[in-house]
Amino acid sequence: SLLIQCCESLLARGHEVRAVVAENRRIAQWCEQRGVPCFDDFNALREAPQAASFDYLMSITNLRMLPQWLLERPAKLAVNFHDGPLPRYAGLNAPVWALINGESEYGITWHEMVAGADKGRILVNRRFAVAADETVFGLNAQCYQAGLAAFNELIEQLESGAVAPQEQDFAQRSYFGLSQRPPAAATLDWN
């Protein structure tokens, strides 16, 4: 839903969404209703006339690393939504790790896409409190709400030329990879 909401926001501001890459049926249906070309594979963009030239590439709720040739396509900037505060929570399943680590504050980041996972400069971020009894479902919902609000701020900055990318402090970075699991294989000790 975040990708659809962000696209709706772009369209409402008079911008053009040239193409979407998604396997999700709901997104494909939205694209069909809005007349936006939808592809199920990044490689389809190599030859698609709609993707011959564009200013910004937005990666929203995408779990795949984009190929370098695609990162080099936008005339201005490639941007990614990350459901965690960078650089502290880079990688996958970041909200889960934040809850496992007992965080009382969390956030989201819109950042520049470069080679390497979640390594680009920070464009916009949002922080918010995490309730002591928060669930992953609730934390993800907060991430999406904050992500949409921050997206609108990002678009305003891009429109006005006021975007000011900030380098990440990689000394503060932690990375959670696809195969990383909690200690004891996530078993519970009832004692």
Three-class SS state of 12:
helix
Contact 79, 58 (CB under 8 A): yes
For residue 38, pLDDT over 90 is answered with yes
- pLDDT category at 185 given cuts 50, 70, 90 is low
Residue 39 contacts residue 48 (beta carbons within 8 Å): yes
pLDDT greater at residue 188 or residue 134: 134
| Residue 178 predicted with pLDDT over 90 | no
Could you report the per-residue pLDDT of 142-172, keeping only the tens digit for each? Answer: 999 999 999 999 999 999 999 999 999 999 9
| Cis before 74 (ω within 30) | no
- Rounded to the nearest integer, the mean pLDDT of the chain is 94
The confidence score (pLDDT) of residue 147 equals 98
Q: Calculate ∠ Cα 162-5-82, nearest 5°.
A: 65
- Predicted structure pTM score: 0.92
Average pLDDT over residues 116-132: 96
156-162 long-range contacts (CB < 8 A, ≥24 apart) are 157/123, 157/124, 158/56, 158/76, 158/77, 159/13
